[in-house]
Amino acid sequence: MKRYVLVRALYSVVTLWLLVTIIFGLVRLTGDPVAMKAEAGADPAYVAQLRQSWGLDRPLYWQYLGFVGRLLRADFGHSFEKSLPVRDIYFERLPNSLKLGFAAFLISLALGVPFGMLSALKVNSVWDNAGKAVALLGLSMPGFFVGLVLIIVFGIELGWLPVLGKGSSAFVWSAPSTWAMFWFRDWGHLAMPAFALGWYFSGAMLRITRSGMLDVLGSDYIKLVRLKGVPEPMVVAKHALKNSLIPVLTFAGLNLLIMVNVAVVIEVIFNWPGVGQLLYDALSNRDFPMVQGVVLMSGLMIVLLNFTIDVLYGYVDPRIRLSR
Amino acid sequence: MATIPIGADRTIAAVRAVRRSYRVLRDLPMVPMLILGVLASVAVLAPVIAPHSKLDPVKPTREQCQAKFGTPDCPYVDNAPPFWSPGGTLDTPLGTDFLGRDVLSRLLYGARISLIVALTGTLFAGAIGTVLGVLAGYMGRWWDEIIMRITDAWLTLPSLVFAILLSSVRGPGLWNVVLILALVFWSRYSRAVRGEVLTLRERDFVKLAEINGIGKLTIIWRHLIPNVMNTVMVLFSLQVGVAVIIEASLSFLGVGVPPPEPSWGLMMAQERESLMEGRWWLEIFPGICITLLVLSANMLGDWLRVRLDPQLRNR
C-alpha cells in the first residue's frame, strides 16, 4: 500500500510538472501576452518595459526556471490590474465558487442519480426513454442558455428570484464568524445559477448512473442473489445500489471540481463573484498573470483530486493496488 | 403452376430494391440527420437565402421611422420585434438587433461560423490525436510512455479553462478558435485510439504483416488507422457538440469570433441588455440554434456509437 501511494504520488507530480511545462510552452508558442496587453502602435519603450517587468527579455530556459521556481513557492505572480498577488485575489473569490459548485453538485446528484436508477431498473420503458431524452437535452443545452431562460422566466417575467449577484453574505478569511453562516444564506441568489450549472452535469450523472447500474444488475452475484429468492427491492437497495454507486461517486467528485472551475459563463451572466468571473475580468482586462494563475490553480486542484481518488480506490480494492 | 407475366421479375426486383432502401433509411436516425441537413444547407446557402445583409442595418420603412423617432427618415430602426408582435413586419421576421440588423439573416450566417469552426477544429484535433494515439499504442515503450504522460497532463484541465488560457494569448479570431479547439481536444482521441491499438497490435493480421517484413509505417497506415476509424468517428461526432458549445462560450466571453461577424454565442452576449428590457427573443433564438446543432450532433454520435459497438445495442 505504501509503495502504491508513493508511485501514485510520483505520477501526480510528473503530471503536474508536465502540465506546468505545457502551459509555459503553449503560451509562448501560440501568442504573446505582451502584444495582447500593449495593442498595436503602442510606445516601444512601454512594450520593452512590460517585457522586462515580466522577465520576458531573458533567455527562455531562465524564464522557465524562474516560472517553476516561483510556482514551487506558491507564488503565482502579480495581477496587472490590481497590483496584488494573484494568490490573494484568487483565494478571496474561491469560497463563492465553492458555494456555487456545491449547490450545483447537489442538484446534479439529486436529478441524475434517482432518474438514472429508475431508467436502469425499467429498461426501454417510458421512464427510461424520458430519462434518455432529458440526459440528451441536458448535454445539448449549454448552461448559459439555460441560465438566460431561467432569468427570463423566474427573474423577469415572474420576478420570484434575484437575477444578479450573490447576496449580502460574504466569506471573509480573517473573520471566522462568517465562515459557517456563509453557506446557509442567500439561497435565493444561489438557486438559478446553481441550477443552470448543475443542469449540464445532471445529464452526465444520469448516464453514468444508468450504465453503472445496468452493469451491476447484469453481474453474476446479482443473479445469485435473485436465485436465492431475495425480493427485488432488497436486491436493488442492499446489493446493487452500493456497488453501482462507486463509479458514480468518483465521477461526481471530479464533476464537483470541474463545476467550480468551468462556471465562467454562468458566473458572468449572473454576476456571481467567483473564480470564473475573475477569469473573465482578467480576460477582458488582458491581465495575463491572473488568467494563468486561475488556470494553474484549477489544474492543481484536479491533479490532487485524481491522486486522492486513486489512493482511495487502492485502499478499497486490493486488485488495483497490487496490479501496479 | 401460375404463369408469370413478362416483366414481373423486374417489378419484383424493383419492389425489393425499394424495400431494401427503406430498411436502410429506417435504421438511419432521421431527426438528427434532418436537423443537421437543414443547418448544413442553410450554412452553405446563407448568401442566397438570407433576406438581408449580415453586417448592414435593414433600411426601415417610413412608418417605422415615424413611430420610433417621429421623423420619416432614419438610418435604421433598432430592436424591431418579431413579426407576431405589434410593430413587427414580415420583412424582418425575427426582428432586428441593437444595430438594426436582421436577426434571421444573422442566424443563417451564424450556422456557417458554428459549423466551420466546430468541424475543422475537431477534424484537426482528430488528426493529431489519431496519429499520436496510434504511435503510442503501436511503437510502445518510450513513445507510449511520453505520449501518454503528456496526454494525461493535457486531459487534467477542463476544456473550457484550457481554451480560455489559449485565447488570452491568441486574442479573438475565427481561425484562432479553430486552433484552440484542435489544441484542446486532440488528447481525447489519442487516449481512446491508443487503447484500441493495444488490442489490434496483438491480432493475427498485424502479426502476419510483421512476419512478412512490412514496414512499421505501412502497418500503421494500411492496417491500424483504418481499424481505429470507428472509434475516431464516434468520438468525432460527440466532440463536435462540445466544440460548438466551447466556440459559443468563447464568443460569449468576447475572445472567440470577433464582432461584427454573427456568431451565435456573440449574438447572445451582445443582447444581454435587451434581456433586461424585456426583448427576450434576441437571446432565445441563437440559444435554440446552438441547442439544435449540439442536440443533433449528440444524437448522431449516440447512434453511431451503438451502431459501431454491438455490445451497447441493448443499452
Nearest by CB: A19 against B156, B160, B278: B156
Mean pLDDT of B28-44: 84
* For residue A324, pLDDT beyond 70: no
CB B66 within 8 A of CB B56: no
> How buried is residue B3: exposed, middle or buried, by Cβ count under 10 Å (0-12/13-18/19+)?
exposed
Residue with cell 436502410: B24
Q: How confident is the model at residue B2 (pLDDT cuts 50, 70, 90)?
A: low
Question: Chain A 119-138, CB below 8 Å of chain B: which residues?
Answer: 123, 136-137
What percent of chain A has pLDDT above 90? 4
**Letter for the amino acid at A174?**
S
Q: In which band, very low, low, confident or very high, does the pLDDT at A322 lie, cut at 50, 70 and 90?
A: low
Look at residue A163 and tell me whether its pLDDT is greater than 80: no
Express each pLDDT in A35-86 by its tens digit: 777 766 777 787 788 777 777 777 888 888 888 888 888 777 777 777 788 8
Alpha carbon distance A104, A100 (integer Å) = 6
* B222 touches B134 (CB < 8 A): no
pLDDT value of residue B216: 85
3-state secondary structure of A271: coil
pLDDT tens string B267-292:
888 877 777 777 778 888 899 999 99
What is each CA distance from A18 to A105, A249, B152, in whole angstroms? 29, 27, 9
Does residue B256 have a pLDDT over 80?
yes
Q: Cβ–Cβ of A140/B166 closer than 8 Å? A: no
Q: Do B164 and A291 touch (CB under 8 A)?
A: yes
For chain A, the helix, strand and coil percentages under 3-state DSSP, each to the nearest 5: 80, 0, 20
pLDDT at B121: 93
- In this prediction, residue B312 has a pLDDT band, given cuts at 50, 70 and 90, of low
- Check: pTM over 0.90? Answer yes or no: no
Mean pLDDT of B111-118: 90
pLDDT at A263: 86
Measured in angstroms, the CA of A177 and the nearest CA of chain B are apart by: 33
pLDDT at B231 over 60: yes
pLDDT at B201 over 90: no
Return the number of CB contacts < 8 Å for A and B. Answer: 143
Per the model's pLDDT, the better-predicted residue between B65 and A106 turns out to be A106
Choice between B227 and A161, residue whose per-residue pLDDT is larger:
B227
- pLDDT confidence tier of residue B178, bands split at 50, 70 and 90: very high
Taking residue B128's Cβ as centre, other Cβ atoms within 10 Å add up to 17
Please say if the pLDDT value at position B152 is more than 80: yes
**Position B314 pLDDT exceeds 70:** no
Residues of chain B positioned with their CB less than 8 A from the CB of A144 = 248-249, 252, 268
- Cis peptide leading into B29, omega within 30 of 0? no
Res B130 pLDDT > 90: yes
Best residue in B39, B146, B164 for a mutation probing chain A (most A CBs within 10 Å): B164
- Give residue A186's region: left, alpha or beta (phi > 0; psi -120 to 50): left
Mean pLDDT of A112-120: 86
Instruction: With CA atoms as reference, report the closest residue to B168 among A225, A295, A221.
Output: A295
- C-alpha cell of residue A179: 465562515
Q: Which of A106, A140, A146, A135 is nearest to A203 (CA)?
A: A135
What one-letter code names the amino acid at A51? R
pLDDT in tens, A139-161: 888 888 888 888 888 887 787 77
Question: Residues A118-144: what's their mean pLDDT?
Answer: 84
